[in-house]
Amino acid sequence: MTSITHVIFDVDGLIVDTERCYTETISEICQRYGKTFTWEIKAKQMGQKEAVSAKIAIDELGLPLTVDEYLTEVRAKLEEKLPHAQLLPGAEKLIRHLHKQKIPIAVATGSDKWGFAKKTAPHAELFSLFHHAVCASDDPDVKHGKPEPDCFLVCAERFPDQPKADKVLVLEDAPNGVEAGIKAGMHVVWVPDPRADQSGLSGKVDQILESLEQFVPEKFGLPPYSS
């Protein structure tokens, strides 16, 4: 029986529906140059640090933009879209439950601090329940973004009681994030985008769920919702 003591949440596409904002934003930029933003390119970007994500789109689509120009355009559009991103099903209930049961929880995201602030502002009280947040793009301790394990290892280290990897559960939506959690030696529950190719990862994760509404805490030794 898996006995989890700490839970690390991804943010984009797991707690808040910000992946929709990214898809709209990057599609609009690509269309301006007659290019199409595909799921394949999106999947490579998800979880990466901002500058790496930018380079992926620029290189793969041949966008006539520097990384800074791309990020400036993306941020301008996200500024309008992010405040309207809704919480995803089951996320708030699970976060509040774990916090109430005094289970240490934190977030680890590929975002930079600017993006994290924009994504969490409409849900500030809920995000205040997390012990800490690791924003890979701006964190000097995070050498490599997802799919490398750095952000999850740094996030686990920043809990006062520094749990061992196999006591930590990672909740992720992105293939890169799932790979990072696995490389960190942690348990992983994957809530994938329906378009994700599950073949390579399904055997390596503890569970694949359609949404966090399907999450059963006691399956991981966590207090049941009824408690």
Ligand X SMILES: O=c1[nH]cc([C@@H]2O[C@H](COP(=O)(O)O)[C@@H](O)[C@H]2O)c(=O)[nH]1
CB neighbour class for 117 (10 Å; exposed up to 12, middle 13-18, buried from 19): middle
Give residue 105's identity as a one-letter amino acid code. Answer: I
C-beta closer to ligand X: residue 40 or 227: 40
13 binds Mg ion (CB under 5 A): yes
Chain centre to alpha carbon of residue 156: 15
C-beta closer to Mg ion: residue 65 or 148: 148
173 binds Mg ion (CB under 5 A): yes
139 flagged as catalytic: no
C-beta closer to ligand X: residue 84 or 100: 84
Nearest residue to 107 (alpha-carbon basis) of 158, 176, 145: 158
148 binds Mg ion (CB under 5 A): no
User: Which residues bind to ligand X, rule: CB under 6 A?
Assistant: 10-13, 19, 22-23, 26, 42, 45-48, 50, 53, 109-111, 115, 146, 174, 177
* Structure-block tokens of residue 30: 């690509």
What is the C-alpha to C-alpha distance for residues 216 and 90, in angstroms, rounded to an integer? 11
What is the C-alpha to C-alpha distance for residues 82 and 73, in angstroms, rounded to an integer? 14
206 flagged as catalytic: no
Q: Of 10, 112, 139, 173, which is the active-site residue?
A: 10
Query: Catalytic residue positions?
Result: 10, 12
**Residues within the interface to Mg ion (CB under 5 A):** 10, 12-13, 173-174
